[in-house]
Each structure stands twice: as C-alpha cells, then as structure tokens.
Amino acid sequence: MGSEDLVCASCSGLVIEGRCPTCRASREYLRRNSVTISPQLILAILAIIMMLTALAVRHAT
C-alpha cells in the first residue's frame, strides 16, 4: 500500500488529493518523511556489489 491509497478520516477523501486541512497536513508530513533513492545511489550500490563479486570470484580461484 502506498501513500496515494491512504484515506482521510476527516473528509473520507484520498490524502493525496488534499481536500481538507487534515489531508494537506498529512500529505506534507508524508512528503517530508519519505525516503527516496537517487539514481546515483543505485549506481554506487551496483558498483560496490560488482566489485565485491569480482573479489569473491578472484579469491575463490
């Protein structure tokens, strides 16, 4: 379930639509506290995994 599926208890609308002040406050809170992974971070993680794999293969032979 993503944050776009949350329903507001005050107005029974989707929080992502921001129909009432409670929705807007919740949407802003979710936006500030969401974790995002940048493409650069993904590439760095992949590069580290590839290097560790190469070292493991080299060490095994």
Measured CA to CA in angstroms, residue 5 lies from 10, 15, 51 at distances of 15, 8, 39
Residue with token string 């190469």: 54
- pLDDT grade for 47, boundaries at 50, 70 and 90: very high
Least confident of 14-18, 41-45, 48-52: 14-18
In the predicted structure, residue 49 carries a pLDDT above the cut 60: yes
Q: Are 36 and 45 in contact (CB under 8 A)?
A: no
Instruction: Determine the structural domain holding residue 48 and report its residue range.
Output: 3-60
Phi/psi for 10 (5° steps) reads -80, -45
Q: How many domains does the chain have?
A: 1
pTM for the whole thing? Answer: 0.50
